[in-house]
Amino acid sequence: MSRDQRAEDNGALLAAQEMALARKEPLAVLFCLLPSFKGAPGGAFAFMLDGLIETARDLARRKIPLIVLRGDPVLEIPRWIGARGASALFCDFDPLREKRLWQREIAVRVSVPFFEVDGHNVVPCRRASFKQEYAAYTFRPKIRALLPRFLEDMPSLKDHPFPWSREDEGSRSLDRLVEARKNLPSPLPASGPPGSAAGRRRLDAFLAAGLTDYDGKRNDPNEEAQSGLSPYLHFGQISARRAALEVTRSAASDEAKEAFLEELVVRRELADNFCFYNEAYDRFEGFPDWARRTLDAHRSDERPLLYGPADLEEARTDDPLWNAAQRQMVLTGKMQGWLRMYWAKKIFEWSPSPEEALRRALLLNDRYELDGRDPNGYAGVAWSIGGVHDRAWPERPLFGKVRYMNLAGARRKFDVDAFCRSVPPLG
């Protein structure tokens, strides 16, 4: 268990249980706990650990232990598989480079059948498309054609009738999770409480009060129109398929449903497609040809302002909206979606090169966002700086043909001053 940290609506777990039941064998869930991952903040680890503690208890009620390993998964998982005499191994799908490398290396080191199940996407990434899609308009018809096949309820996880021989292994792992959690800060307040139950409550609250206005208000940072599901989806504490099913069954207008499903399914799964089929998803080389050419042509353009990494991290620029967006991210672990695009484009404008802008934006995103280290973040920053999933626009200095955004445009969309006043200072 890595990307989908929940007991219910978990395709990999259900597939493993189906095999275990057919063979009349016990079933265990492994989680390999790393001391750190790509600069993830303490709040993100706390959010994850609280969710895992809940999941461990959910699994224990079904007679399935969650066993926590510590260290390098490439070493620890094969070692555990061999020591316990396991007969098969199942894992979550993940399009990111590090996770895919782990899986390839683990596959070489184990002598049992090794299965990967994509339960994170509504339509499995490999099934949705066999190539990197150019943009949402090329990807959307493929997703829409497949949704009826995949948008259905999953069976419930059963109480497992074949007991694990080492009964104390799960309880010791739970103690290990609780101990690891003690030294971390509380989750950031804007995220809400962690865990699958909290994720489901957040979804229910959005269905009851937020979905109706989603289409018209989601791009206004002063409105509480977004779902708030992002961290729960990122850690797999709630299933995207479950969220999509409940949205389609709601009484909201077709326009509101379509707007939300566009973000939840089409755009989110387009990000997985980008990272899975483009090994350079976090590098300049991963930008489309037209964007690389236009950015190269404007490398020597004069930048009106240059800021160093500390100025950006501490929100010390001349742009009040950017500063407020950065403060919001640092203080709450989240940034409203439209603002994140504006935020990344200004980092490009203030950095000495596209490569450095990309590095800075991803570093800050992964350090402070609860949903950092995620395909959505990599695709979003690549869209903002490198035109990924976008088209060429009229040429202008510095940006070339990459889409431009500025403060005046933001003021036409929403009350910028009200938003700036709403975010407290750092420190």
pLDDT tens digits along 272-325: 999 999 999 999 999 999 999 999 999 999 998 999 999 999 999 999 999 999
Q: Write down the pLDDT at residue 214.
A: 86
- Choosing from 223, 254, 277, the residue where a domain stops is 277
Average pLDDT over residues 337-354: 96
Measure the CA–CA gap between 265 and 257, rounded to whole angstroms. Answer: 11
Measure the CA–CA gap between 348 and 384, rounded to whole angstroms. Answer: 9
pLDDT in tens, 212-256: 888 777 888 998 778 999 999 999 999 999 999 999 999 999 999
Has residue 36 got a pLDDT over 80? no
Residue of 407, 424, 306, 315 whose CA lies nearest to 364: 315
Measure the CA–CA gap between 120 and 93, rounded to whole angstroms. Answer: 7
269 within some domain: yes
- Choosing from 119, 144, 170, the residue where a domain stops is 119
State the Cα torsion 233-276-79-64 to the nearest 10°.
30
Q: Are residues 387 and 349 in the same domain?
A: yes
State the Cα torsion 144-149-153-157 to the nearest 10°.
-120
181 within some domain: no
C-alpha triplet 361, 363, 369: angle, nearest 5°: 90
Average pLDDT over residues 332-348: 94
Q: Are residues 242 and 291 in the same domain?
A: no
Residues 6+ apart with CB under 8 A from 420: 320, 321, 323, 324
327 within some domain: yes
CATH of the domain at 363: 1.10.579.10
Measure the CA–CA gap between 102 and 147, rounded to whole angstroms. Answer: 30
DSSP 158-184: PPPSS--S-THHHHHHHHHHHHHHHTS
Q: Are residues 219 and 289 in the same domain?
A: no
Has residue 38 got a pLDDT over 80? no
Q: Are residues 289 and 353 in the same domain?
A: yes
Q: Are residues 4 and 86 in the same domain?
A: yes
Q: Are residues 200 and 114 in the same domain?
A: no
Q: Are residues 306 and 413 in the same domain?
A: yes
Report the length, in residues, of the chain. 427
| pTM, rounded to two decimals | 0.96
Q: Are residues 247 and 365 in the same domain?
A: no
184 within some domain: no
State the Cα torsion 352-354-356-358 to the nearest 10°.
140
Q: Are residues 308 and 369 in the same domain?
A: yes
Q: 94 is written with which tokens?
A: 């993940």
Q: Write down the pLDDT at residue 37.
A: 59
CATH of the domain at 56: 3.40.50.620
Question: What's the total number of domains in the chain?
Answer: 3
Its domain, for residue 204, covers: 121-153+196-277
Which amino acid is located at 385 in the chain? Answer: I
